[in-house]
């Protein structure tokens, strides 16, 4: 699968590079981002580890990490990635998404997901795109449901969190059959955001 930078007038999803470390540190230095994430990017050592691991998985072709750039300011405000890439079965996951709190409840995440999903279904012709989250992360569940993804169920005792506690995983997906309806829904959401701004 070939991956490229994706952009519209609101966001740029740029392939992650080593040089992005400092801006990622600035974007990630808010403790409220990290309680439900499997990683933490609050100190320089965290960011170096985050970037090194992400680039290693990119080299292995199992993941493809992006930085999220706010087009208005030109600044990196978070990160997202394609994960669990399976070329044989034409599927992947959109995950490890985090955004600096100043951009929560704005058009940023919807724009990101629109660009990523459009690429998945209209360029890569995938069979399935999944998004998963922690059962306690209600904010993330609401955001995923707002995109129009289908909730498939809960994987019990699926993962151990970084503090060692047990996480159940809430699993969502979108298929090619659902994409036209999801696309229309996302386009309407983006128009609403434009009208309010």
Residue reference for tokens 């580890």:
49
Q: pTM for the complete prediction?
A: 0.95
Q: What is the dihedral of CA 49, 117, 33, 134, to 10 degrees?
A: -100
Domain 6-195 -> CATH class: alpha beta
Question: pLDDT grade, residue 2 (50/70/90)?
Answer: confident
pLDDT tens-digit map of 146-175: 999 999 999 999 999 999 999 999 999 999
Domain spans of the chain?
Answer: 6-195
- The tokens for 168 are 């159940």
Cα(117)–Cα(184) distance, rounded to whole angstroms?
Answer: 12
Please tell me the predicted confidence (pLDDT) of residue 194.
85
Is the pLDDT confidence value at 54 over 80? Answer: yes
Instruction: Give the phi and the psi of residue 18 in degrees, each rounded to 5.
Output: -55, -35
Q: Please say if the pLDDT value at position 185 is more than 90.
A: yes
Spatial distance between the Cα atoms of 156 and 145, rounded to a whole number of angstroms: 20
């Amino acid at each position: 699968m070939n991956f490229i930078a994706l952009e519209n007038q609101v966001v740029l999803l740029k392939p992650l590079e080593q040089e992005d470390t400092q801006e990622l540190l600035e974007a990630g230095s808010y403790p409220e981002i990290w309680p439900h994430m499997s990683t933490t990017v609050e100190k320089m050592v965290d960011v170096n580890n985050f970037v090194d691991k992400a680039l290693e998985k990119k080299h292995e072709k199992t993941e493809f990490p992006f930085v999220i750039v706010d087009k208005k300011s030109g600044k990196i405000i978070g990160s997202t990635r394609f994960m669990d890439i399976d070329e044989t079965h034409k599927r992947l996951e959109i995950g490890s998404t985090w955004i600096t709190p100043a951009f929560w409840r704005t058009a940023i995440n919807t724009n990101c997901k629109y660009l990523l999903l459009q690429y998945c279904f209209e360029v890569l012709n995938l069979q399935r795109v999944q998004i998963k989250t922690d059962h306690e992360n209600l904010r993330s569940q609401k955001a995923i449901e707002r995109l129009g993804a289908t909730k498939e169920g809960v994987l019990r005792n699926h993962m151990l969190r970084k503090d060692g506690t047990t996480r159940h995983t809430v699993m969502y997906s979108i298929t090619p059959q659902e994409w036209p309806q999801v696309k229309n829904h996302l386009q309407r959401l983006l128009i609403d955001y434009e009208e309010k701004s």
